[in-house]
Amino acid sequence: MRYGAEILVYLKEGVLDTQGKAVAASLTRLGYDDPSVRVGKYIRVEIEASDIDSAKETFDKMCKDLLVNAIVEDYTVKVEELR
């Protein structure tokens, strides 16, 4: 069975988001009124797995192994079965 995950990776509260600050400054220069911006990663992964629980386990392990820097980043994983 094929499963898909939508993984959102974002900096923890309190961690300086230089990319977010740069985007906010650009938006302000374009005339927007002082937006606050945080920029993270949206990762879509698809794998084959026997069932949804083992798929969830694999996606979570991928985050810990490679996709997320646990020192400064948090993440969420949304898993769905694919037709």
8, 17, 19, 11: which is closest to 41 by C-alpha?
8
Please choose, from the candidates 8, 14, 12, the residue with its C-alpha nearest in 3D space to the C-alpha of residue 63: 8
Buried (b) or exposed (e) across 11-34, using 16+ Cβ within 10 A? beeeeebeebeeebeeeeeeeeee
Report the residue number, 38 or 56, with the smaller CB distance to a second copy: 38
- Smallest gap from Cβ 1 to a second copy, in A, equals 13
- Minimum distance of a second copy from residue 34's CB (angstroms): 8
Give the residue with the Cβ less far from a second copy, 56 or 58: 58
Binding site for a second copy (CB under 8 A): 8-10, 23, 26-27, 30, 32-48, 58, 62, 65-67
The minimum distance between CB 77 and a second copy, in angstroms, equals: 13
